[in-house]
Structure 1
Amino acid sequence: MSSSNKLTTWTILAPLAGWIILIAGMLLAQGWLQWLAALALAGSVFAAVHHAEMVAHKVGEPFGTLVLAVSITVIEVALIVSMMVSAGPEKAALARDTVFAAVMLVCNGIVGLCLFMGALRHREQVFQAPGANVALAVLAALAVLTMVLPNYTSATPGPEFSRSQLAFAGVSSLVLYCSFIFVQTIRHRDYFLIEGSSDESEHAPPPTSAVALISALMLVVCLVAVVGLAKQLSPAVEAGVELMGAPEATVGIVIAALVLLPEGLAALRSAMANRLQTSLNLALGSVLACIGLTIPSVAAVSAAIDRPLALGLEPKETVLLALTIVVSTLTLGMGRTNILQGIVHMIVLAAYLFLAFAP
């Protein structure tokens, strides 16, 4: 958690500046606004991390990490849905590309960097293995049922589900995610609590209820600004991807990376403070929310507007997903981590990014 339990001026001004630039970008088509939007995005990200830590310190674990994970995911879903509605059938794979990018960036990027940097500073770190195992079991089921199975059904060709299959995938995803939240916050909450933390800021007095409420409201303001600015920057991102000759799927990687910045920074700060349990709660909870909330939402929108929805992964991506699940199960199954485990995750991420630009 942040060592401060008071609001600071910049955490209020940064997202407000982001909103001003966001509105200006809607009204004015000026190239220089793109640079200001990028700066405002960075400021809003850091402010979001600060407010998330304030709220988390007030409500405690695992509710604190759940606040940031679900907040970002809900707004990310809104971003994907809005782009689906405004685009044509050519964006049928947008949800799949963004969700898969989020899975790879979180499971290999955020988790790998947290394991590496945490071990670099503390040599070994411990966490609750039962909680990680529960999360990985749900992740494996969600990922296979929604992004692998569509390639092997016969009712419709290619990477698409039929209407009934899509409805089943959406409902089962929501049931799995809600079941995980029940286990995480009620039935087996102790699986996700910090043990053996040596961070002094964790024992600092929590913020007052008024300060926590303001931080909760500002967190929403920050996250909406982050997603709005990311969407505003997406045309420039698409132009850059096209200029480099990279596949269109890389746009989903860039957008997912921008939206995941607050979570990534919050998780990294926790790992550096020897609170790896918090980092894993945030990372694994985030990736589960990403699939468990996005798939039902896009399935409902696809059915409502009669828009095709391609969910099945390409063979190369399926292999990378399987590798990620196997590696995560091995590295997070013992409750103790070291620097090598972080390196393994980051190499898998590097392979994913390299093959995305050089398929």
Structure 2
Amino acid sequence: MVAVVLLVLTWGRDLPGPLVALVTLVLAAAVLSAVHHAEVIAHRVGEPFGSLVLAVAVTIIEVALIVTLMADGGDKSATLARDTVFAAVMITCNGIVGLSLLVTSLRHGVAVFNPEGTGAALATVATLATLSLVVPTFTTSKPGPEFSTVQLTFAALASLVLYGLFVATQTVRHRDYFLPITRQGEVIAADEHAEEPTTRTAVVSLCLLGLALVGVVGLAKGVSPTIESGVAAAGLPQAVVGVVIALLVLLPETIAALRAARRDRVQTSLNLALGSAMASIGLTIPAVALASVWLSGPLVLGLGATHMVLLALTVVVGSLTVVPGRATLLQGGVHLVVFAAYLELAANP
């Protein structure tokens, strides 16, 4: 609630240095608050619903932020949706996945998860990312790495259909594929040693989760001019700003995933990571497609060659990690190296 009040007081204003420091501290507190309330909800409704709530909530607010910035930015925001979605994919599929596998492997030796559910999630992410971010680079109906109106409509509908099918699979038809499992392959339905919160507590946490996420994303936008100035002063490309903002916005999922990994619930961590990547594409592309009706500037979605190579490497490495249903320290390190390569190439393209 403090974060939302501060957001209202500082929205649309140039912030001096001391106020930026205060906003940053409140932003960090809002991230921790969001994680706490997400875990309360997850414990009440169980997996995989808990991770789905956090992923969708963060993505909806993130999409609103992207559309708002595109409406204000004109032509200079033409690549904003592409850069944000690709940053989210690399952060989740390599950064969060790599850290989760690393933490679990260090504490418990081997990370164990369900390859059926995780493989289905990775396949959906790979398909959505390819259709939305790779195909526009090679289409010829419109000059530049852009979709024509018909192609953009198809990509938006395909994103919604695939995301809807995945959610139905995850929560209804094959829910057991996405539940944490023991090292003997048995499903862990819930934490037996923790008391389940009441419905009233869960509803309050749901409301406070929404407030916390609004505060996180809004305050991240508030400090973005300071980030932009710092990036420009350091001589770094403008794309680095998108990476920093994406890192801030995805902090709740990152912390929640690491906490689950520490408890040897790496399946929950993978649900959070891949679910966030999928929601980012599946909800952002339809939203910007709809927004493009009234936005006058171009909408560039196609990735460059370097980023396409990193995306292909991510899919290959992710597939090899998922297939056995078990991962060691090595797989976590491989994902983190790919993520580090993305960050390095963002700073030095």
Deviation readout 1:251-298 (Å, 9 max, x if unpaired): 110111000000000000000110001111111111100000000101
- Over the matched positions of the two proteins, sequence identity in percent amounts to 55
* Matches for 1:1-359 after TM superposition, within 5 Å: 16-26=1-11, 29-31=14-16, 32-196=18-182, 201-359=191-349
Deviation readout 1:135-188 (Å, 9 max, x if unpaired): 111111101100000011110111111111111111111111111101111111
Q: CA deviation at 1:23?
A: 2.2
CA contact (8 A) 2:46 2:190 kept: no
Output the amino acid matched with 1:56.
Answer: A
Give distance in 2, aligned partners of 1:322 and 1:298.
Answer: 24
Q: Which runs of 4+ in 1 moved over 3 A?
A: 27-30, 197-203
CA contact (8 A) 1:68 1:263 kept: yes
TM-score by length of 1: 0.93
Give distance in 1, aligned partners of 2:84 and 2:241.
Answer: 8
Compared CA separation, residues 185 and 209, structure 1 to 2 (3 A):
same
Instruction: State the partner residue of 1:10.
Output: none
Give distance in 2, aligned partners of 1:43 and 1:63.
Answer: 24
Q: CA deviation at 1:303?
A: 2.2
Compared CA separation, residues 223 and 269, structure 1 to 2 (3 A):
same
Output the amino acid matched with 1:84.
Answer: M
Deviation readout 1:72-117 (Å, 9 max, x if unpaired): 0000000000001111111100000000001001111000000001
CA contact (8 A) 1:49 1:266 kept: yes
Output the amino acid matched with 1:331.
Answer: T
TM-score by length of 2: 0.96
Give distance in 2, aligned partners of 1:27 and 1:191.
Answer: 45
Give distance in 2, aligned partners of 1:211 and 1:192.
Answer: 25
Name structure 1 gaps, 5 residues minimum.
1-15
Moved more, 238-247 or 337-346: 238-247
Give distance in 2, aligned partners of 1:168 and 1:306.
Answer: 20
Output the amino acid matched with 2:8.
Answer: I
Output the amino acid matched with 2:6.
Answer: I
CA contact (8 A) 1:173 1:291 kept: yes
Output the amino acid matched with 2:243.
Answer: I
Give distance in 2, aligned partners of 1:80 and 1:296.
Answer: 12
Compared CA separation, residues 202 and 154, structure 1 to 2 (3 A):
farther
Output the amino acid matched with 1:22.
Answer: L
Give distance in 1, aligned partners of 2:46 and 2:9.
Answer: 38
Output the amino acid matched with 1:64.
Answer: G
CA contact (8 A) 1:126 1:277 kept: yes
2:292 alignment partner, SS class: helix
